[in-house]
Chains A and B, each alone.
Chain A
Amino acid sequence: MEAHSTQTKRDVESGSDVGARPSLTAKGLGAGRSLFDKQILADAAVEGLKKFDPRVQVKNPVMFVVVVGTAVTLAESIAHPSVFSWSITVWLALTVYFANFAEAVAEGRGKAQADTLRRLRVETEARRLRPDGTEERVSAADLARGDKVVCEAGYYIPSDGEIIEGVASVDESAITGESAPVIRESGGDRSAVTGGTRVLSDRIVVEITAERGKTFLDRMINLVEGAERKKTPNEVALTILLAALTIVFLPVVVVLEPFATFAGASVSVVVLVALLVCLIPTTIGALLSAIGIAGMDRLVQRNVLAMSGRAVEAAGDVATLLLDKTGTITLGNRMASTFIPVAGHSEEELADAAQLASLADETPEGRSIVVLAKQRFNLRERDLGSQRVFVPFSAQTRMSGLDIDGRQIRKGAAEALKRWVLEQGGSAPGDLHTIVEKVAKGGSTPLVVADGSEILGVVELKDVVKDGIKERFEQMRAIGIRTVMITGDNPLTAAAIAQEAGVDDFLAEATPEAKMNLIKAEQEGGKLVAMTGDGTNDAPALAQADVGVAMNTGTTAAKEAGNMVDLDSNPTKLIEIVEIGKQLLMTRGALTTFSIANDVAKYFAIIPALFVVSYPQLKTLNIMRLHSPQTAILSAVIFNALVIVALIPLALRGVRFRPAGATSILRRNVLVYGVGGVVAPFIFIKLIDLAVTATGVFH
């Protein structure tokens, strides 16, 4: 095998076989490590320390206040050491550390995935074509846009490009995790190839379309690693709200000093800092970025790459889903389901002719006719001898078939066949029109079969709606999302399938322009639109849609126009993407509510502790019956730190999504995170107080 001699340098160096090249596991990016893999936790524990860097902390206003507060209590503890002040200082530092740790854990899996991908991006050697047609060997690093390279079986494709010559089977498992090879060929919508994938057979010429450092692989690495992570619009808005809640508590706490003095009490700086940290929304502040990273990660787990966090957020708001019929709603291929003879011909006669006409037809539809004839009448594929001529399908004739023993058997669209029999001197039987109409109205495609000038009957090709898709659409409806089926079928067929699949609406005889107009109309009505697409002619619509998911099998143009790429090329995934978007926002809302609701209990712990010396009456407010002012304040601080750790799993996994109307979701979340957020800290602060008291260190 000569091809092996041009493996990547790394493979040569390591002496490994081609197949041993690093790739993500069989299920693709998604099947990485578990969320709480030991290695990830260990790395995060170290990373959490590095994040104490003030340059990192300043990006998060809430946690920055905690950092400054910790510095203040540290200085105070050094100046006036006491077990109490040191305990507070340590727990404040731990609060920051836990926040850092949460973020590091969320980043961990992406980092691991990025490392794996990076190993794919090793120096590949490319065979570049000179203008005169000769080849030269260059490093993939030196390839520029527009260069043409040759790839043969066994070669790695050096960079992203379009096949301009040839057809090949390509192993894309390194990127998609799908082990079955895919066919890539020049022209049409299957011409894009990705750097880092391997040609399994044949020879292709690829024109490079990506610049160095901007290949799909590079983008993937950046995305899963979160290198270019920017705060999403909603994250910015929430950060502002949290900053406002932080700023307002500064004077609340600072003025307690003069208030206390006026009341004849004195409060220490350590206690004021402790109160401040307990009041500002540290729980959500600590977990906010982890929630965002984990949301992107959940998409990656499902083999979807979102080009921006903004797109994930938009997914949560989607009001209209445009779904391609083929592959999303139906199983892609139409299957022959019945033979309907006309004008006195028998069903078997029709089946026989239909099978003959389909023998050379390798399309799934053709195969299904052969299979159906076999099942119904035990007609087998037969040896046809040599006296046969296959007539392939063409866009002009819109029929196919074969000529055998002087017979001319044809199958095709009704209009085409009618014209054909007329040309042959025959005529269309009277009942044909009604049958064709009926089949079409039922959502199927009528295929007319003729033998010479005789029309034998109609084969019904049925679109098979995917299992369970109707239930998914019902769920979508429950959360207020309208589903629109896009199909090239005529309105009659489209209506029947739409009915069967349970979509809310359909766009029949869809052209790219019609699709685009539909998106614009929906958007003008204030709705966010999500769609999938793979062809170059989908690109404008993908760009116009608020969430445009390009199939990885699609063209480069489509992939660039969309804001997400589905590596599995499974259009049904749009529904999951919407759910992940919603889950992300719900998690933010739930933890914000929880964080703020927690403050009520903290007040009841700290306020009586602060002033009970001057006003013993205030001990009535100590409804938790905490042991002493010191244990009360420390317990609140400890609770405040530990709750971050306790909520890391929720932040990373997300609040459970249930398909239900807004009001019922809200009621449930308010109950769990609002009311729960008020009640829980009363219980846990009390428990922590018991533990702290049990140490006997605090009076």
Chain B
Amino acid sequence: MAFFWTVAALVVALAVVWRLLGAYMVSVYEGRCGWLGFLERPIYRLMGVNAETEQTWQRYGVSLTAFSGVVLLIGYGLLRLQGSLPLDPQHLGAVGPAVSFNTIVSFVTNTNWQAYSGETTMSYLSQMGTLALQNFLSAAVGMAVAVALIRGFSRKGSKTIGNFWVDLVRGTLYILAPIAVVAAVVFIAQGAVQTLAGPVTVSDAINRVTQVIPRGPVASQEAIKQLGTNGGGFFNANGADPFENPTGLTNFLSILLILSIPVALTYTFGKMVGSVRQGVAVLAAMTIIFGAWLAIATVAEHQPNPAVAAAGLTAQPAGNMEGKEVRFGDTTSALYGVASTQTSTGSADSAYDSYTPMGGFAMLSGMMLGEVSPGGVGSGLYTILLFAIVTVFIGGLMIGRTPEYLGKKIQAREVKLASLGVLVMPLSVLVLAGIAVAVPAGRAGPLNAGPHGFTEILYAFTSAANNNGSAFGGIAANTRFYEITTAVAMLLGRFGVIIPVLALAGSLAVKEYVAESVGTFRTDKAIFVGLLLGVVFIVGALTFFPAVSLGPIVEQLSHGKFF
């Protein structure tokens, strides 16, 4: 019952966020909102950006790539030099080269795959100056790309798709920063840690133990980690750590923050293309997937643990509580997990490795569908729009017209770019997982043997290539092999999609509108939502069915047998 009210409260809260934040983002990206102009203008002056000039998709793409490249290099340098820089009260020293590379790639790509343990690796400067900063910037980049694509649809006969620097600054300044500040205050009020005073040493005289308890600027990072669908926790235990996620309220707020921007962007999209119904259609498809996967995960996790039962222990809780916080319970943990895996966030308040096979499958397959339900900030929207283009292409043909979407003809170039954008992720996952199971360094990674071990490998690359960053656990992520290969997956999954999306935006923006008639394929109707879901499922199923059947499906069909 508590779970039902949690979901109901979440739906109501998201409905409000969808409408208000969605409309607010329209005004931000259309440049009609200027209450932080006193901060915005100096930033442009500092960067030497003329906010009035617009960019072609090529310029936009070059700016974006150059920016990401530069912050990646700076971030790498800061991590490597950590020991010589201030704010390192634990004297953690420099971060190793491979893990630095993996980590900075991970944060720049909005993945937040963590091949390290935060409290024992990162200084406060690295946590705040490098990682938390990237949480803002990578989220703003994702939103900028989504907005550029929306402009592709909403403009006609235009060579330009906006200005990357302006979109980046405005997204950070007007959307991410204010919400993160407010959320951080709530986290602090609820008991999340926020200090630069370093760890405390606690001595227990009775038991004669002395314990060092790590602390740090946690709450501030926590807010943006969820809001920007980044997911990289301050502590290794992520959302299961009471310093990060102290109460049921913060747990709920985490889920809400995770879903806010991806959900609200559908309103922004609809409004900017001139029909909110178009945004509702996309949101409906997202919601159906989310709802279905939530059902799978909660039902699976609400079963008694079959392995525990097989061991003859009759008195076990109603749900599978292995690897879960008792503060949150089985179903709410599953809700958090689904929200996190389907938004490319990857934060966690429970251990997926300990989920039932179907629960784990729900986490894994949610990502395999391409992170579109509702997906990461920006990336969720632009990815589902790629699927929508493939959908209207096939659906449009079936009604006897050459396909069009939102008044734009979908032709060879659009199909090429959309196919590329859709297929980069599954290709990266399959090829890298194929390499991992074939080479000794890869085979050494998983903790378990057999299908569960295979799932651990598959999960790692699915998480990385989807820029999710959630960890299934059980895999030795901090080995050279996985540090390099997952970084490759993250880069491909990010820029391999962003570049085609920007090219698509450019190609759409120049096109003229095609008038709508009763003969037009309506993309704001239930049948479109159904077809879009069909395409998302079929592409996901066709590419991953063989792999999944060797992992979670075999496990599930083994009924509690350990691997």
A joins B in a complex: yes
Interface string of B420-451 (1 = CB under 8 A from A): 10110011001101110110000100000011
Q: How far is the CB of B343 from chain A (nearest CB, A)?
A: 24
Q: Which one of B390, B399, B422, B430 contacts A662 once the chains associate, using CB atoms below 8 Å?
A: B399
Q: Which one of A248, A592, A610 contacts B426 once the chains associate, using CB atoms below 8 Å?
A: A248
Residue contact B393 to A233, C-beta cutoff 8 Å = no
Contacts known (A241-B419, A478-B518); A665 close to B398, Cβ less than 8 A:
yes
Residue contact B434 to A670, C-beta cutoff 8 Å = no
Q: How far is the CB of A318 from chain B (nearest CB, A)?
A: 9
Give the residues in chain B near A667, CB-CB below 8 Å. Answer: 527
Give the residues in chain B near A236, CB-CB below 8 Å. Answer: 412
Give the residues in chain B near A258, CB-CB below 8 Å. Answer: 434-435, 437-438
B252: Cβ under 8 A from any A Cβ: no
Q: Which one of A241, A247, A662 contacts B519 once the chains associate, using CB atoms below 8 Å?
A: A662
Q: Which one of A482, A588, A670 contacts B517 once the chains associate, using CB atoms below 8 Å?
A: A482
Contacts known (A263-B454, A279-B542, A585-B402); A252 close to B438, Cβ less than 8 A:
no
Give the distance in Å from the alpha carbon of A551 to the alpha carbon of B399 in the complex.
Answer: 29
Residue contact B398 to A589, C-beta cutoff 8 Å = yes
Give the distance in Å from the alpha carbon of A599 to the alpha carbon of B535 in the complex.
Answer: 13
Residue contact B394 to A592, C-beta cutoff 8 Å = yes
Interface string of B258-302 (1 = CB under 8 A from A): 000000000000000000000000000000000000000000000
A27: Cβ under 8 A from any B Cβ: no
Residue contact A526 to B395, C-beta cutoff 8 Å = no
B545: Cβ under 8 A from any A Cβ: yes
List residues of B (110-147) whose CB comes within 8 Å of A's CBs: none
Give the distance in Å from the alpha carbon of A475 to the alpha carbon of B399 in the complex.
Answer: 15
Give the distance in Å from the alpha carbon of A597 to the alpha carbon of B517 in the complex.
Answer: 29
Binds A, one of B44-52, B198-206, B546-554: B546-554
- Of chain A, the residue at the smallest CB distance from B420 is A244
B236: Cβ under 8 A from any A Cβ: no
A603: Cβ under 8 A from any B Cβ: yes
B30: Cβ under 8 A from any A Cβ: no
Contacts known (A234-B402, A480-B517, A662-B399); A256 close to B416, Cβ less than 8 A:
no
Binds B, one of A466-474, A611-619, A685-693: A611-619
Give the residues in chain A near B518, CB-CB below 8 Å. Answer: 477-480, 661-662
A401: Cβ under 8 A from any B Cβ: no
Q: Report how many A-B pairs have Cβ atoms within 8 Å.
A: 208
Residue contact A233 to B412, C-beta cutoff 8 Å = yes
Q: How far is the CB of B539 from chain A (nearest CB, A)?
A: 8
B522: Cβ under 8 A from any A Cβ: yes
Pick from B402, B423, B513, B531 the residue with the most CB of A within 10 Å: B402
Q: Which one of A237, A615, A621 contacts B410 once the chains associate, using CB atoms below 8 Å?
A: A237
Q: Which one of A582, A599, A611 contacts B550 once the chains associate, using CB atoms below 8 Å?
A: A611
List residues of B (355-377) whose CB comes within 8 Å of A's CBs: none
Residue contact A582 to B434, C-beta cutoff 8 Å = no
Give the residues in chain A near B42, CB-CB below 8 Å. Answer: none
Contacts known (A479-B518, A666-B527); A526 close to B407, Cβ less than 8 A:
yes
- Of chain B, the residue at the smallest CB distance from A596 is B538
B520: Cβ under 8 A from any A Cβ: yes
Q: How far is the CB of B364 from chain A (nearest CB, A)?
A: 15
Residue contact A589 to B557, C-beta cutoff 8 Å = no
B9: Cβ under 8 A from any A Cβ: no
B7: Cβ under 8 A from any A Cβ: no
Residue contact A251 to B398, C-beta cutoff 8 Å = no
- Of chain B, the residue at the smallest CB distance from A257 is B434
Decide if the interface of chain B is mainly helix, strand, loop or mixed. helix
Residue contact A261 to B437, C-beta cutoff 8 Å = yes
- Of chain A, the residue at the smallest CB distance from B531 is A670
Which interface class (under 10, 10 to 19, 20 to 34, 35 or more) fits A?
A: 35 or more
Q: Which one of B399, B542, B543, B557 contacts A617 once the chains associate, using CB atoms below 8 Å?
A: B557
Residue contact B433 to A255, C-beta cutoff 8 Å = yes
B28: Cβ under 8 A from any A Cβ: no
A46: Cβ under 8 A from any B Cβ: no
Residue contact B396 to A618, C-beta cutoff 8 Å = no
Give the distance in Å from the alpha carbon of A234 to the alpha carbon of B400 in the complex.
Answer: 12
Q: How far is the CB of A241 from chain B (nearest CB, A)?
A: 5
Q: How far is the CB of B405 from chain A (nearest CB, A)?
A: 13
List residues of A (445-485) whose CB comes within 8 Å of B's CBs: 477-482
List residues of B (503-521) whose CB comes within 8 Å of A's CBs: 512-515, 517-521
- Of chain B, the residue at the smallest CB distance from A279 is B542
Give the distance in Å from the alpha carbon of A247 to the alpha carbon of B543 in the complex.
Answer: 11
Interface string of A558-590 (1 = CB under 8 A from B): 000000000000000000000001111110111
Contacts known (A237-B393, A241-B390, A262-B454); A255 close to B431, Cβ less than 8 A:
yes
A669: Cβ under 8 A from any B Cβ: yes
- Residues of chain B whose beta carbon lies under 8 Å from any beta carbon of chain A: 390, 393-403, 407, 410-412, 414-416, 419-420, 422-423, 426-427, 430-431, 433-435, 437-438, 443, 450-451, 454, 512-515, 517-522, 525, 527, 530-531, 534, 538, 541-543, 545-547, 549-550, 553-554, 557-558
* In the A-B complex, the 6 residue pairs with the closest CB atoms: A480-B519, A589-B397, A582-B400, A255-B434, A480-B517, A244-B419
Some 14 contacts from A to B, beta carbons below 8 A apart, are: A237-B410, A237-B415, A245-B419, A252-B546, A262-B454, A319-B519, A479-B519, A526-B514, A584-B400, A589-B399, A617-B558, A662-B518, A669-B398, A669-B399
- Kindly list 20 other residue pairs between chains A and B, CB separation below 8 angstroms, not including A316-B400, A589-B397: A233-B402, A248-B543, A251-B430, A251-B431, A252-B426, A252-B543, A259-B433, A259-B547, A262-B443, A319-B517, A526-B407, A528-B514, A585-B397, A585-B402, A586-B399, A593-B394, A596-B538, A611-B550, A662-B518, A663-B525
